[in-house]
Structure 1
């Protein structure tokens, strides 16, 4: 049976460093490739812009009156109102 060669500390250290650098490079490559595509600016209807402006006014008023302790609720009573859920979601993501 052949005798195995022992690896020195420097060889182990170099192998460990190469593996770490390869892992970091792989991780960076994966993060860069999975970055979300920028969303194109979509057209926001006048009704949705008006609703968002109203919400902004109410939020500003609430902040002036006492901070962020409370809860604001928004509802619309118009039966034929346009669905602005995507625009509202984008607005509140930006507001954080």
Structure 2
């Protein structure tokens, strides 16, 4: 979910991911869809951007390919699936890992 942020977020957005006590640089590669926060229905597939208050499914990649992160999908191990994205010293996005693509 996108929290208090001064702009929209689109492909190419870079931020710091905080997950399981570690911090890495990531880049948004693809927005897959936007879902309604309460009904979980799909609002839009392949959106160009997301804005404050929207819930989205997106694909992020590490900016440095030689790094690895310990994480698990939420269904398999919820304790290792929560993350935050920070930009300019503020939490921009919080969410959970749905799928890991290698």
Bin of the TM-score, shorter chain as denominator length: under 0.3
More strand by share: 2
Give the TM-score of the pair, scaled to structure 2.
0.22
Bigger Rg over Cα: 1
Give the TM-score of the pair, scaled to structure 1.
0.22
